Amino acid sequence: MPSEKFTYIESTAVPLNIENVDTDQIIPARFLKATTREGFGENLFRDWRYDRNNQPKADFVLNDNKYKGTILVAGKNFGSGSSREHAAWAVHDYGFKVVVSSFFADIFKNNALNNGVLPVQVSAEFLDLIFGEIEKNNKTIVIVDLEKQEIILKESGKKENFEINSYKKECLLNGYDDIDYLLNLKDKIAAFEESK
Protein backbone atom coordinates (compact mmCIF):
# COMPACT_ATOMS: atom_id res chain seq x y z
CA MET A 1 0.00 0.00 0.00
CA PRO A 2 1.64 3.29 -0.99
CA SER A 3 1.58 5.37 2.15
CA GLU A 4 1.33 9.08 2.74
CA LYS A 5 4.65 10.87 3.16
CA PHE A 6 6.07 11.03 6.65
CA THR A 7 8.50 13.77 7.59
CA TYR A 8 7.86 15.53 10.89
CA ILE A 9 5.29 15.16 13.64
CA GLU A 10 4.63 17.51 16.54
CA SER A 11 1.90 16.31 18.87
CA THR A 12 0.81 15.57 22.39
CA ALA A 13 1.14 11.88 23.20
CA VAL A 14 -0.95 9.08 24.65
CA PRO A 15 0.90 7.12 27.37
CA LEU A 16 0.29 3.37 27.55
CA ASN A 17 2.69 2.35 30.28
CA ILE A 18 2.28 -1.40 29.86
CA GLU A 19 4.98 -3.87 28.79
CA ASN A 20 4.61 -6.76 26.36
CA VAL A 21 1.52 -5.33 24.66
CA ASP A 22 0.75 -8.24 22.32
CA THR A 23 -1.17 -8.12 19.06
CA ASP A 24 -4.13 -9.94 20.64
CA GLN A 25 -4.55 -6.86 22.89
CA ILE A 26 -4.01 -4.43 20.02
CA ILE A 27 -6.70 -6.16 17.97
CA PRO A 28 -8.36 -9.35 19.27
CA ALA A 29 -8.67 -12.22 16.77
CA ARG A 30 -12.45 -12.07 16.64
CA PHE A 31 -12.17 -8.75 14.78
CA LEU A 32 -9.98 -10.14 12.01
CA LYS A 33 -12.81 -11.27 9.77
CA ALA A 34 -12.83 -8.19 7.54
CA THR A 35 -11.48 -8.42 4.00
CA THR A 36 -10.48 -4.75 3.71
CA ARG A 37 -7.85 -2.70 5.57
CA GLU A 38 -10.19 -0.04 6.90
CA GLY A 39 -12.19 0.30 10.09
CA PHE A 40 -9.93 -1.55 12.56
CA GLY A 41 -9.36 1.61 14.64
CA GLU A 42 -12.67 1.28 16.43
CA ASN A 43 -11.52 -2.06 17.87
CA LEU A 44 -7.99 -0.96 18.77
CA PHE A 45 -7.27 -2.31 22.30
CA ARG A 46 -10.89 -3.49 22.29
CA ASP A 47 -10.90 -5.54 25.50
CA TRP A 48 -8.95 -2.95 27.49
CA ARG A 49 -11.04 -0.12 26.09
CA TYR A 50 -14.56 -1.52 26.44
CA ASP A 51 -16.28 -3.74 28.99
CA ARG A 52 -18.42 -6.77 28.15
CA ASN A 53 -21.42 -4.48 27.56
CA ASN A 54 -19.41 -2.40 25.09
CA GLN A 55 -19.22 0.51 27.50
CA PRO A 56 -15.91 2.44 27.60
CA LYS A 57 -13.77 1.57 30.62
CA ALA A 58 -13.01 4.84 32.40
CA ASP A 59 -9.58 3.73 33.60
CA PHE A 60 -8.16 3.03 30.13
CA VAL A 61 -6.01 5.76 28.65
CA LEU A 62 -7.78 5.98 25.27
CA ASN A 63 -10.98 6.81 27.17
CA ASP A 64 -9.29 9.54 29.18
CA ASN A 65 -9.90 12.96 27.61
CA LYS A 66 -6.72 14.27 29.18
CA TYR A 67 -4.67 12.38 26.61
CA LYS A 68 -4.86 13.07 22.90
CA GLY A 69 -2.48 13.06 19.98
CA THR A 70 -1.01 11.11 17.09
CA ILE A 71 1.87 9.61 19.10
CA LEU A 72 1.41 6.48 21.20
CA VAL A 73 4.04 5.87 23.87
CA ALA A 74 4.11 2.25 25.06
CA GLY A 75 6.11 0.00 27.40
CA LYS A 76 8.84 -2.43 26.37
CA ASN A 77 8.23 -5.14 23.71
CA PHE A 78 5.29 -3.60 21.90
CA GLY A 79 3.51 -5.71 19.26
CA SER A 80 4.66 -9.19 20.28
CA GLY A 81 2.80 -12.30 19.16
CA SER A 82 0.89 -12.76 15.97
CA SER A 83 1.90 -11.51 12.50
CA ARG A 84 -1.53 -9.91 11.94
CA GLU A 85 -1.00 -6.67 10.05
CA HIS A 86 -4.46 -5.77 11.34
CA ALA A 87 -2.62 -4.57 14.47
CA ALA A 88 -0.73 -1.96 12.45
CA TRP A 89 -3.91 -1.10 10.52
CA ALA A 90 -5.78 -0.57 13.80
CA VAL A 91 -3.05 1.71 15.19
CA HIS A 92 -3.02 3.68 11.92
CA ASP A 93 -6.79 3.75 11.51
CA TYR A 94 -7.23 5.10 15.04
CA GLY A 95 -5.02 8.02 14.05
CA PHE A 96 -1.58 7.24 15.47
CA LYS A 97 1.35 8.10 13.20
CA VAL A 98 4.11 7.14 15.63
CA VAL A 99 4.55 4.47 18.28
CA VAL A 100 7.37 5.06 20.76
CA SER A 101 8.72 2.18 22.84
CA SER A 102 12.02 0.88 24.17
CA PHE A 103 11.61 -2.35 22.20
CA PHE A 104 9.42 -3.59 19.34
CA ALA A 105 8.57 -7.07 18.15
CA ASP A 106 10.07 -7.66 14.68
CA ILE A 107 6.96 -8.43 12.67
CA PHE A 108 4.97 -5.54 14.11
CA LYS A 109 7.84 -3.20 13.30
CA ASN A 110 7.84 -4.27 9.63
CA ASN A 111 4.05 -4.10 9.45
CA ALA A 112 3.99 -0.59 10.94
CA LEU A 113 6.63 0.66 8.50
CA ASN A 114 4.68 -0.84 5.60
CA ASN A 115 1.68 1.23 6.64
CA GLY A 116 3.30 4.59 7.23
CA VAL A 117 3.36 4.23 11.02
CA LEU A 118 6.82 5.01 12.40
CA PRO A 119 8.08 2.81 15.26
CA VAL A 120 10.52 4.95 17.26
CA GLN A 121 12.76 2.86 19.48
CA VAL A 122 14.26 4.82 22.37
CA SER A 123 16.41 3.84 25.35
CA ALA A 124 14.67 2.58 28.50
CA GLU A 125 15.84 5.77 30.27
CA PHE A 126 14.39 8.07 27.62
CA LEU A 127 11.13 6.12 27.64
CA ASP A 128 10.90 6.60 31.42
CA LEU A 129 11.60 10.28 30.90
CA ILE A 130 8.76 10.62 28.37
CA PHE A 131 6.31 8.82 30.65
CA GLY A 132 7.44 11.04 33.53
CA GLU A 133 6.98 14.30 31.62
CA ILE A 134 3.56 13.28 30.30
CA GLU A 135 2.50 12.32 33.82
CA LYS A 136 3.53 15.77 35.08
CA ASN A 137 1.99 17.57 32.12
CA ASN A 138 -0.47 15.83 29.84
CA LYS A 139 0.01 18.63 27.28
CA THR A 140 3.68 17.72 26.82
CA ILE A 141 4.58 18.09 23.15
CA VAL A 142 6.64 15.35 21.54
CA ILE A 143 8.42 16.05 18.25
CA VAL A 144 9.48 13.27 15.90
CA ASP A 145 11.78 14.43 13.11
CA LEU A 146 12.39 11.58 10.68
CA GLU A 147 14.90 13.46 8.52
CA LYS A 148 17.15 14.11 11.55
CA GLN A 149 16.14 10.81 13.25
CA GLU A 150 15.42 12.69 16.46
CA ILE A 151 12.72 12.52 19.09
CA ILE A 152 12.46 15.71 21.16
CA LEU A 153 10.43 16.71 24.20
CA LYS A 154 9.56 20.25 23.20
CA GLU A 155 9.19 21.88 26.65
CA SER A 156 12.33 20.46 28.23
CA GLY A 157 14.35 20.21 25.01
CA LYS A 158 15.49 16.73 25.96
CA LYS A 159 16.11 14.58 22.94
CA GLU A 160 17.41 11.28 21.66
CA ASN A 161 18.35 9.90 18.24
CA PHE A 162 16.65 6.82 16.86
CA GLU A 163 17.67 4.23 14.29
CA ILE A 164 15.99 3.44 11.00
CA ASN A 165 17.61 1.87 7.95
CA SER A 166 18.16 4.37 5.16
CA TYR A 167 16.02 2.45 2.66
CA LYS A 168 12.95 2.52 4.91
CA LYS A 169 13.62 6.15 5.78
CA GLU A 170 13.57 7.08 2.08
CA CYS A 171 10.37 5.08 1.61
CA LEU A 172 8.62 6.96 4.43
CA LEU A 173 9.92 10.39 3.49
CA ASN A 174 8.75 9.93 -0.10
CA GLY A 175 5.71 7.73 0.38
CA TYR A 176 7.37 4.91 -1.60
CA ASP A 177 6.19 1.37 -1.45
CA ASP A 178 8.14 -1.93 -1.26
CA ILE A 179 6.04 -3.50 -3.97
CA ASP A 180 6.89 -0.76 -6.47
CA TYR A 181 10.54 -1.40 -5.65
CA LEU A 182 10.20 -5.17 -6.16
CA LEU A 183 8.19 -4.86 -9.38
CA ASN A 184 11.14 -3.01 -10.91
CA LEU A 185 13.29 -6.09 -10.20
CA LYS A 186 11.14 -8.63 -12.05
CA ASP A 187 13.77 -9.35 -14.73
CA LYS A 188 16.36 -9.92 -12.06
CA ILE A 189 13.98 -12.21 -10.17
CA ALA A 190 13.28 -14.24 -13.31
CA ALA A 191 17.03 -14.50 -13.97
CA PHE A 192 17.51 -15.71 -10.39
CA GLU A 193 14.91 -18.43 -10.94
CA GLU A 194 16.73 -19.52 -14.10
CA SER A 195 20.04 -19.80 -12.25
CA LYS A 196 18.67 -21.98 -9.43
Smaller CB distance to other proteins: residue 12 or 96? 96
Strand partners, 144: 9, 151
Smaller CB distance to other proteins: residue 156 or 183? 183
85 is a site residue for other proteins (CB under 8 A): yes
Among 114, 143, 145, 149, binds other proteins (CB under 8 A): 114
Of 45, 90, 73, which Cα lies nearest the Cα of 141? 73
Q: Which stretch of DSSP H or E encloses residue 142?
A: strand 141-145
CA separation for the pair 139, 176 (Å, rounded): 33
Q: How far is CA 7 from the centre of its chain?
A: 15
Of 59, 49, 51, which Cα lies nearest the Cα of 21? 49
186 is a site residue for other proteins (CB under 8 A): yes
Least CB distance from residue 172 to other proteins, whole Å?
12
CB 9 within 8 A of CB 98: yes
Smaller CB distance to other proteins: residue 61 or 143? 61
Can you say whether the dihedral through the CA atoms of 13, 73, 94, 178 is positive or negative? Answer: positive
Among 13, 16, 27, 88, binds other proteins (CB under 8 A): 88
158 is a site residue for other proteins (CB under 8 A): no
CA separation for the pair 180, 184 (Å, rounded): 7
Strand partners, 13: 71
30 is a site residue for other proteins (CB under 8 A): yes
* Residues 115-154, mask of contacts with other proteins (x by CB under 8 A): x--------x------------------------------
Site residues for other proteins per CB under 8 A: 1, 17-20, 22, 24-25, 28-30, 32-37, 47, 52, 75-77, 80-86, 88, 103-107, 110-111, 114-115, 124, 165-168, 178-179, 181-183, 185-186, 188-189, 192-193
